Amino acid sequence: MITLSTDSVFYIAILLMAPLILRNNSHARRYIFLVLNLTVFIVSMKEITQLIVAALWLILPYLITKLADKKSLKNWRPATITVMVACFAYLMHYDAVFNTLHIPYVFPWRILGLSYFLFRQIDFIMQYEYLRETEVRLTFLDYINHLLNFYTLLAGPILRYEEFVTDFYSSVKPLTKQDIFGGLNRALNGYLKIYVVSAIMSYHASYWFNGLKNHSNIITTAGAFFLFAFFNCWYIYFNFSGYCDIVNSFASLAGLTLHENFNRPYLAASVAEFWNRHHITLSEWIRDYLYSPMFKALLTGPCSKNAAFGQYIALFLTFTIAGIWHGTDGNYLTYGLFQGLGIVVATSFKSWRKKHWPKEKNKAWEKDIRVLTAGRIITWSYISLTFSFVGYDVLGLLR
């Protein structure tokens, strides 16, 4: 049975009300947005200690950034980000680290949207100097509105500070009938994706997963696992893209633009292409702040004679870290390792073709419908199997 929690009803009410009070060009718009953001944020808190820690998490990096920039301190960025990542791991309860170190958790709760705060804060810290030099608005109010943006609080998309501020202060045009019906149509599709399609997929994924232990034959077990993986990957897609449809359409009705997060990912013909189409804002963030700096450091250091090897190391580590970011147990680490492996295989095959085949043959290969179809089937199968580690204790089955 489909049920709506009190939190969901409250969130839907805010989404419906927001366009009525946010779609204007008044000076008060930023304050109205702040009130809405703080309301959603405070309602998501379970106790006062949690609220205090979350408030400190939001405010301290801003103050450190302002102070370090004013005093022209050196190496404050890596130091601040390292401390933030360590605190993040502690607040998210990464048991493998803290149980091994025998460090007890002081707080039993976790903060909603913490990982998304971290992404946006690292972006803000890294870009602060550039933002100041290019005279982008840099006020505490805008910083808080950016971090607490209630449209993106739960699961992104991951907006960049400059992108958010530029969009927020752009002139808002009056709503047309097309805007209203187009927006509501997309939002309704989003709700159908979440509450109907993904709910059905989730039901079947759980059904096949729970039945896995009852199989004694390896062939039927493999068949059941594939069915579980099939339903689970579609559950993830419909649930997440449905959520993005809802927040993007309601934000658009309120005069705000959010980055698109999906571009038909299961049409990708390789794992590398898949990550350009699925959770796009995360892919771009890890490309900018993990892959590129890591690859550049390898390329100008230990891998200066072997660029391809440096690239594979950077890709593998980037996706492994992204996997660990998704969740705190070994299943997410395994998921990250498999994504890393998949993208390394896809990239090395492309490099091999580029090196050994003439350009014309390469182009013909990439456009060949048989190659594309085979690539899509292989990519989809691989992604489905690796996504089975997301949300289910697959490693637990092996114990």
Contact 54, 42 (CB under 8 A): no
- Least CB distance to other proteins at residue 61 (A): 17
Nearer to other proteins, 225 or 291 (CB): 291
Tokens in use for 32? Answer: 């109205």
CB nearer to other proteins: give 158 or 224. 158
CA distance 68 to 206: 50
| C-beta closer to other proteins: residue 197 or 299 | 299
Q: What 3 state SS string does 299-357 have?
A: HCCCCCCCHHHHHHHHHHHHHHHHHHHHCCCHHHHHHHHHHHHHHHHHHHHHHHHHHHC
CB nearer to other proteins: pick between 318 and 388: 318
- Least distance between other proteins and beta carbon 242 (Å): 27
- Determine the Cα–Cα distance for residues 271 and 347; give it in Å rounded to an integer: 9
How far apart CA 255 and CA 192 sit, in angstroms, is: 24
Q: Measured from the CB atom, is 102 or 359 closer to other proteins?
A: 359
For the bound state, the minimum distance from the C-beta of residue 112 to other proteins, rounded and expressed in Å, comes to: 28
In the complex with other proteins, which residue's Cβ is closer, 26 or 300? Answer: 300
Token reading at 19:
């366009």
Using the structure block, give the residue that is written with the tokens 């419908």: 369
> Pick from 292, 271, 236, 297: which is nearest to 350 by CA?
271
Q: How far is the CB of 287 from other proteins (least distance, A)?
A: 5
Tokens of 90: 């502690």
In the bound complex, what is the minimum distance in angstroms from residue 323's beta carbon to other proteins?
19
The site for other proteins (CB under 8 A) is made up of 126-127, 129-130, 272, 276, 287-289, 291-293, 295-296, 299-300, 307, 311, 315, 347, 354, 359
CB of 177 to other proteins, least distance (A): 35
The DSSP-derived string for 360-390 is HHHHHHHH-HHHHHHHHHHHHHHHHHHHTTS
Q: Which is nearer to other proteins, 223 or 293 (CB)?
A: 293
Judge if the upstream peptide bond of residue 293 is cis by omega within 30 degrees of 0.
no
Smallest distance from other proteins to CB 188, Å: 34
- What are the distances in angstroms from CA 294 to CA 13, 337, 384? 44, 17, 28
To other proteins, the closest distance from the beta carbon of 173 in angstroms equals: 25
Task: Tally Cβ neighbours within 10 Å of residue 232.
Answer: 26
**Minimal distance in Å, beta carbon 280 to other proteins?**
12
Q: 160 vs 193, which CB is nearer to other proteins?
A: 160
What type of residue sits at position 322?
A
Half-sphere exposure of 305 (CA within 13 A, CB side): 1
**227 contacts 200 by C-beta, under 8 angstroms:** no
Nearer of residues 173 and 296 to other proteins, judged by Cβ: 296
Q: Which residues contact 95 (CB under 8 A, 6 or more apart)?
A: 328, 329
Q: Shortest distance, CB of residue 311 to other proteins, whole angstroms? A: 7
Please state, in angstroms and rounded to a whole number, the distance separating the CA atoms of residues 64 and 291.
26
Beta carbon nearer to other proteins, 167 or 288: 288
